[in-house]
Amino acid sequence: MRFDEDSQLDTSQVQDTRGSRLPGGRVAIGGGAGILGIVIYLLFNLLDPGGSTGALPGIDQVQTESTQLEQECRTGEDANTKQDCRVVAVVNSVQTFWAQEFEGRGSRYQTAPTQLFSGATQSGCGAASSETGPFYCPADGTVYIDLSFYRELQSRFGARGGPFAQAYVLAHEYGHHVQNLLGTTARVAGDRQGPQSASVRLELQADCYAGLWASHATTTPGPGGGDPLVQRLTEDDIADGLDAAAAIGDDRIQERFQGRVDRESWTHGSSEQRQRWFTVGYRSGELERCDTFSGSV
């Protein structure tokens, strides 16, 4: 995966709060759920919009940290060499794609920021820590990620990693933002577990949306309508994304951490399902093909 070196990045879409202190100290996750519960919960978890809320980091803190990001991440060349700048580039590309997709259908896309944090943070969906993993909060329309998750994806879950595997994580979370805008998120209601549950269907659709962006990434204009920000995306890159999707399938996680598979407790889908639905979006390039709520998944 390579970005156009001359393309300008829009850092206003990313808030950098790494290093800020969270009132109240360390955040507890899951009430003693144990390692398996945390592992299953943290992977691309869509937090409950009805959950507890807390004060968001002060706006002065966000502006100060984001100013530093603005100074370091100016062009696609920076994105090719620095991880946090690559996050900015991917967020720019994904959101430009969805803005075009919505406009083509006569509606308006609402931009969602990504917030980088380290250790712990507060969101509109409540407190979270690095153990929570990347997530989208529909209550405040923000994607949250501690970049240490990318190391965890390799060391803890056995993915081989790579720039596009990281991009897939972000594109998946922005798929949840699109679902929120379209009203799809509400379809989950209480149907949260099982291989054919609404929760699994929602997650698989977000995977399909990630593949959809990948299908159009090299033709999506850069910020401000310039040349495409993503200059090159190879089949090896796509293979890295599929490998990451497989690594965080419910069945793979359960086998790795508890030694058995319990299909009725699935919330995100199997490795095969996740790879398949990403591929549907990538190969078709059509939004309508990502309908995971009709028929069997």
pLDDT, tens digit (0-9, with 9 covering 90-100), for 145-161: 999 999 999 999 999 99
pLDDT, tens digit (0-9, with 9 covering 90-100), for 223-281: 888 899 999 999 999 999 999 999 999 999 999 999 999 999 999 999 999 999 999 99
Confirm whether 101 is domain-assigned: yes
Confirm whether 96 is domain-assigned: yes
Specify whether the CB–CB gap between 153 and 247 falls below 8 A: yes
The structural domain count of the chain equals 1
Predicted pLDDT of residue 65:
52
Torsion angle of alpha carbons 116, 118, 124, 127, nearest 10°? 160
Closest CA to 119 of 91, 153, 144: 144
Q: What share of the chain is helix, strand, coil (3-state, %, to 5)?
A: 50, 10, 40
Confirm whether 243 is domain-assigned: yes
Q: How far apart are CA 230 and CA 221, in angstroms?
A: 9
Higher pLDDT, 36 or 1: 1
Confirm whether 295 is domain-assigned: no
Check whether 5 has a pLDDT greater than 60: yes
How many helices, marked H, and strands, marked E, lie in the chain?
10, 9
Q: How far apart are CA 177 and CA 200, in angstroms?
A: 16
Taking the model in full, what pTM does it have? Answer: 0.87
Write out the residue range of the structural domain in which residue 68 sits: 2-290
Confirm whether 29 is domain-assigned: yes
Confirm whether 296 is domain-assigned: no
pLDDT, tens digit (0-9, with 9 covering 90-100), for 110-130: 999 999 999 999 999 999 998
* DSSP symbol at 39: H
Specify whether the CB–CB gap between 89 and 76 falls below 8 A: yes
Confirm whether 50 is domain-assigned: yes
pLDDT, tens digit (0-9, with 9 covering 90-100), for 162-198: 999 999 999 999 999 999 999 999 999 999 999 999 9
Predicted pLDDT of residue 60:
40
Those residues whose C-beta lies under 8 Å from the C-beta of residue 140, and which sit 6 or more positions away, are: 56, 123, 124, 125
Mean of pLDDT values over 70-86: 96
In this structure, which amino acid lies at residue 257?
F
* Beta strands 126-129; 135-137: pairing state: unpaired
Q: How far apart are CA 244 and CA 164, in angstroms?
A: 9
Specify whether the CB–CB gap between 255 and 270 falls below 8 A: no
Predicted pLDDT of residue 289:
98
Confirm whether 297 is domain-assigned: no
SS (H, E, C) 82-130: CHHHHHHHHHHHHHHHHHHHHHHCCCCCCCCCEEECCCEEEECCEEEEH
Predicted pLDDT of residue 250:
97
Q: How far apart are CA 162 and CA 248, in angstroms?
A: 15
